[in-house]
Every structure is written in C-alpha cells, then in structure tokens.
C-alpha cells in the first residue's frame, strides 16, 4: 500500500466518521482537499505544555477609575 493510498483510506475513514459518506462518494476530491486543509491547520498551532492551560486569558471587567463615571 502506497502513501497516497494510505492517505486516501485515512481520509475516507475520517469522512465516514464525520457522516460524510455521500460527500465522499460524490465529491471525493473536495473531501480530500478539506482533509488536507484541516491537516495544515492542525499543525499551525502550538500546543501548550499544560493541557489545562487556556488558549487566552479569561476576560474580566476593568477596575473602575476614580473620578470617572
């Protein structure tokens, strides 16, 4: 089994798991492009060292300034 065949089998499994069996049958190239794009996005973000870390700080209301409204 070649690399392309393995990649296509993996993409088919992902498509079927996502409920896209019909899309896989009718628009295989589009589904393969979407899987490739998702792979690129997945590697585009650094994972935090601590899995419980939030991706951004929690929002909070700024403290009221004296003399302001």
What is the percent of the chain with per-residue pLDDT over 90, rounded to a whole number? Answer: 43
CB neighbours of residue 24 within 10 Å: 18
Is 53 within the bounds of a domain? no
Which letter does DSSP use for residue 56 in this model? Answer: S
Is 47 within the bounds of a domain? no
Is 64 within the bounds of a domain? no
Range of the domain at 23: 3-42
Residue 34, exposed/middle/buried by CB under 10 A (0-12, 13-18, 19+)?
Answer: middle
Is 18 within the bounds of a domain? yes
Helices (H), 1-68: 3-17, 21-26, 28-42
Is 50 within the bounds of a domain? no
**Number of structural domains in the chain:** 1
Is 58 within the bounds of a domain? no
16-34 per-position pLDDT tens digit? 999 999 999 999 999 999 9
What are 34's two structure tokens?
Answer: 């979407």
Is 31 within the bounds of a domain? yes
Which is more confidently placed, 11 or 4? 11
């Amino acid at each position: 089994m070649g690399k392309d065949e393995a990649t296509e089998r993996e993409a088919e499994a992902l498509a079927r798991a996502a409920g896209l069996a019909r899309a896989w049958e009718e628009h295989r190239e589009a589904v393969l492009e979407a899987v490739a794009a998702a792979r690129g996005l997945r590697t585009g973000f650094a994972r935090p060292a601590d899995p419980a870390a939030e991706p951004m700080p929690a929002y909070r209301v700024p403290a009221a300034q004296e003399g302001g409204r």
